Amino acid sequence: MTETNQPVLTVSEFLDSAKTLLESRFAQVAIRGEITNFKVASSGHMYFSLKDAKGRIDCAFFRGFNQGLAFKPEDGLQVVMGGTAGIYEARGQFQVTVRWMEPQGLGGLQLAFEQLKRKLQAEGLFDESRKRPLPRFPRRVAVLTSGGGAAWQDFLRILESRVGIEEVELYDVRVQGAEAASDITAAFQRIADWPEYDVVVLTRGGGSAEDLAVFNDEAVVRAVAACPIPVLCAVGHEIDHSLCDFAADKRAPTPTAAAEWLAPDKDEMADRLDEISRRLRDALAQVSDKGREDTQALADRLKDFHPLRWLDETRQRVDEASEDIERAFRNSRAMGKERVGRAGAVLARSAPLVRFGMLREKLESGQRTLHQALRHAAKQAESRLSEAKTRLDALHPLAPLERGYALVTRAKDGRVLRSSREVQAGEGVEIRLAKGTLGARVTRVDGAGKPVETTPPLPGLEP
């Protein structure tokens, strides 16, 4: 054992001395480097290493000091941190106890903005596919903003000069500060519990990044995305973009622009109404012209099926048949006379009386046959003519009246009645009989079943 004049220390005594020396020498130290091996314990304490190209130190960032961070530390992030150098005695390990931390390059709010944006974007909260169209002319609008702020006054001022919105309800919430997030999320919850609006407007005027920080709060952004009513976000000035802008169904650059989008200008609305009226008139004119063309086409088609036309054609065919019968009768008579003449000539040339008698009998037989043929042809023609007349009488529209039926029409317009549902008690009707017409009034309406479609009386069937 080597003798020494130094006192012999225990491990604990040595570590305690070294710790005291370090803490006195490096009581306040600021260090720059890259975070690695970052982890968060269940207690909320953060443990990581800070490194550069040549070395690495262990760090502890306890919960009491890290709760105020605006961003989330993560591996690979370049930071500047401050704290106290010391020794973790349980393992004899050199470490820095961190008291504060800032991202290098980006500010804390901007880094928190980018981190939360990436997170919510990965969840799909900013997808265009989930955004809903806002009604172009909403009637009831809920506005979430500070009642004493300029945004609310600008919004109302624009609406006073425009038209369309019937009701605007203010949800007076704080739009900056520690309590603003809870105010806004509570207002969205009240709206979700009673979704009676057409549009929800979340708005405030411009300000610094710190002033607008509530519109990048995760709870507020999620409340915007979850709202059952379309949300129009109008936060800050035109150059300002918050995470609520990305989550909303539509963004307006300013509160004034939001009001202008929701309520159309009076002159613009008048011009649009004039244009719509003109287009309606043109459309009605086209429909009317088309209706007249269709009506004329139907009328032309109806002529082809009209009963009177069919009767006329049938009468013409009967006349042609009669002419054919008469022509055949005349031809038969001419042929008979010709045959008689030839027979007479033969008789004249035949002297014997016997042959004359035989020829006379043959002539008489031929005459009888001819007369029978003529009578038969006449009967057939008469039968065909009678049959055609019977069919004509059966097809005549007023033929059923001869059998005791009646044709009932509505007195006010002459429309033929086919169902009891086409007339009401107390209405006048005309009853057409085979001979004469009766005027009557309905005292009772009975009958059920599906009503039939009424049609105007055909020409020739008017009472």
Per-residue confidence band for 455, with pLDDT thresholds at 50, 70 and 90? very low
DSSP state of 416: B
Residue-averaged pLDDT of the chain: 81
**pLDDT, tens only, 347-402:** 666 556 666 677 778 888 888 888 888 888 888 888 888 887 777 776 776 777 77
Letter string b/e over residues 26-48, b meaning 16 or more CB atoms within 10 A of that residue's CB: eeeeebebbbeebeeeeeeebeb
Residues 46, 84 contacting (CB under 8 angstroms): no
- With CA atoms as reference, report the closest residue to 181 among 238, 101, 116: 116
**pLDDT, tens only, 19-78:** 777 766 777 888 888 888 999 999 999 999 998 888 888 999 999 888 878 778 888 788
Domain count along the chain: 4
| Domain membership flag for residue 417 | yes
Quick one: pLDDT at residue 347?
A: 60
Residue ending a domain, choose from 396, 422, 441: 396
Which has more pLDDT, 317 or 148? Answer: 148
Q: How far apart are CA 102 and CA 68, in angstroms?
A: 11
Q: Are residues 168 and 53 in the same domain?
A: no
Residue ending a domain, choose from 40, 74, 105: 105
Q: Are residues 166 and 230 in the same domain?
A: yes
| Domain membership flag for residue 296 | no
**pLDDT, tens only, 225-241:** 999 999 999 987 766 68
Does position 119 have pLDDT exceeding 70, yes or no? yes
Q: Are residues 144 and 231 in the same domain?
A: yes
**pLDDT, tens only, 80-113:** 888 888 888 778 788 888 998 888 765 556 677 7
Tell whether the torsion through CA atoms of 445, 447, 453 and 459 is positive or negative.
Answer: negative
Which CATH number goes with the domain that contains 27? Answer: 2.40.50.140
| Domain membership flag for residue 68 | yes
| Domain membership flag for residue 336 | yes
**pLDDT, tens only, 319-343:** 777 788 888 878 877 887 777 777 7
- With CA atoms as reference, report the closest residue to 108 among 71, 63, 152: 71
| C-alpha dist (Å) from residue 114 to 217, 218, 242, 361 | 12, 12, 11, 134
| Domain membership flag for residue 170 | yes
Residue ending a domain, choose from 205, 229, 264: 264
DSSP calls for 426-444: T-EEEEE-SS-EEEEE---
| Domain membership flag for residue 284 | no
Q: Are residues 358 and 413 in the same domain?
A: no
DSSP state of 420: G
| Domain membership flag for residue 313 | yes
CA angle, 211 then 260 then 146, to 5°: 30
Span 415-425, average pLDDT: 88
Does position 203 have pLDDT exceeding 90, yes or no? yes
Quick one: pLDDT at residue 113?
A: 76
Q: How far apart are CA 24 and CA 177, in angstroms?
A: 39
Q: Which domain holds residue 133?
A: 128-264
201 phi/psi in degrees, rounded to 5: -110, 120
Q: How far apart are CA 65 and CA 312, in angstroms?
A: 110
Span 267-279, average pLDDT: 76
Residues 205, 212 contacting (CB under 8 angstroms): no
Per-residue confidence band for 199, with pLDDT thresholds at 50, 70 and 90? very high
Quick one: pLDDT at residue 54?
A: 84
Element of type H or E holding 168: strand 167-172
Instruction: Give residues with Cβ within 8 angstroms of 27, minimum separation 6.
Output: 84
Per-residue confidence band for 305, with pLDDT thresholds at 50, 70 and 90? low
**pLDDT, tens only, 261-272:** 888 777 777 677
310 phi/psi in degrees, rounded to 5: -65, -40
Instruction: Give residues with Cβ within 8 angstroms of 266, minimum separation 6.
Output: 161, 162, 163
Q: Are residues 192 and 221 in the same domain?
A: yes
Give the least confident one: 208-217, 241-250, 316-325, 388-397: 388-397
| C-alpha dist (Å) from residue 111 to 99, 103, 118, 216 | 19, 8, 11, 11
| C-alpha dist (Å) from residue 400 to 311, 393, 407 | 16, 10, 9
Quick one: pLDDT at residue 461?
A: 46
Quick one: pLDDT at residue 292?
A: 79
Q: Are residues 75 and 88 in the same domain?
A: yes
| C-alpha dist (Å) from residue 412 to 140, 190, 210, 421, 422 | 50, 61, 81, 16, 12
Torsion on CA atoms 247, 251, 256, 258, rounded to nearest 10: -90
Quick one: pLDDT at residue 183?
A: 94
Residues in the chain: 463
**pLDDT, tens only, 122-162:** 999 889 999 999 988 898 999 999 998 889 998 988 888 78
Quick one: pLDDT at residue 9?
A: 66
Q: Are residues 391 and 411 in the same domain?
A: no
Per-residue confidence band for 114, with pLDDT thresholds at 50, 70 and 90? confident
DSSP calls for 206-224: ---TTTTGGGG-HHHHHHH
* 118 torsion bin: left (phi>0), alpha (psi -120 to 50), beta (else): alpha
Which has more pLDDT, 372 or 4? Answer: 372
Span 275-284, average pLDDT: 83
| Domain membership flag for residue 252 | yes
